[in-house]
Amino acid sequence: MIELDRSFAIVTVDVQNDFCPGGALGVANGRKIITKINEVNALAEEKGALRVATRDWHPQIMEEHFKIWPVHCVQGTPGAEFHPELMTEGFEIFSKGMDPKEHGYSPFEGRNEQRQILNEYLQQHGIENILFLGIATEHCVKAGAMDAVAEGRRYQTFLTTDAIAAVNATAGDEKRALKDMQDAGVILIETREIR
Ligand SMILES: [Zn+2]
């Protein structure tokens, strides 16, 4: 059981049209998790926790990234918009994947409107705990959670296992990603354990 307060940041990763069913890189459970994500964020608002949303925000040409993945989340296209069911009011938005030479998987590579990087923003708000949810478990969510527990950051890092969605290109990818995160010190919880 965890109790949210001002030391928490909720980081909602890439809940965009292209990552939801029907999108360029639609993930099976992408839409299903939105209700839970909204619930957690509503609770976070009530408790004074910081709410951050990241978005994949690519230029039209991505050197390597668009060789690995179908073209997705191109700046200004409907696919790059947050899913309409996601309640985004009060979110601080961080955009990532804007460098055509990089992949931009990790939320920690994101920048807000003031061009501030995520870590700086979290530090500025005295954040000690981060709770991740969103898409896709084994890519951007994992990259963020691993960065959050990495040397020099040491946030207490939580992952809500019922508010994430995986690509699962190979069977078991999600399971392996969860284990890797857990081994690195990420704490796995369910939304019903959040107060
Ligand atoms: Zn991308």
Domains and CATH numbers, the chain: 8-193 (3.40.50.850)
Separation of CA 195 and ligand 1 centre (Å): 32
User: Contact, 62 vs 100, CB < 8 A?
Assistant: yes
> What H or E segment, with its residue span, contains residue 163?
strand 156-165
Q: Which one of 18, 73, 96, 142 is the catalytic residue?
A: 96
3-state helix, strand, coil in the chain (%, to 5): 30, 25, 45
What does pTM read for this prediction?
Answer: 0.96
Report the mean per-residue pLDDT for the chain: 96
181 is written with which tokens?
A: 């995160």
32 as an active site residue: the answer is no
47 tagged catalytic: no
Q: What are the pLDDT digits (tens) for 21-69?
A: 999 999 999 999 999 999 999 999 999 999 999 999 999 999 999 999 9
Q: Whole-angstrom Cα distance, residue 137 to residue 49?
A: 22
CA 55–ligand 1 middle distance (angstroms): 9
| Amino acid, single-letter form, for residue 174 | E
How far does residue 71's CA lie from ligand 1's centre (Å)?
8
Rounded Cα distance, 156 and 49, in Å? 14
pLDDT higher than threshold 80 for residue 152: no
Does the pLDDT value for residue 154 go beyond 90?
A: no
Contacts of 123 (CB under 8 A, 6+ apart): none
Please give the backbone phi and psi of residue 177, each rounded to the nearest 5 degrees, phi first: -60, -40
Does the annotation count 175 as an active-site position?
no
Ligand 1 mean position, distance from CA 24 (Å):
11
| Rounded-to-integer distance, Cα 42 and Cα 174, Å | 27
Expressed in angstroms and rounded, the spacing between residue 154 Cα and the centre of ligand 1 is: 26
Q: How confident is the model at residue 151 (pLDDT cuts 50, 70, 90)?
A: confident
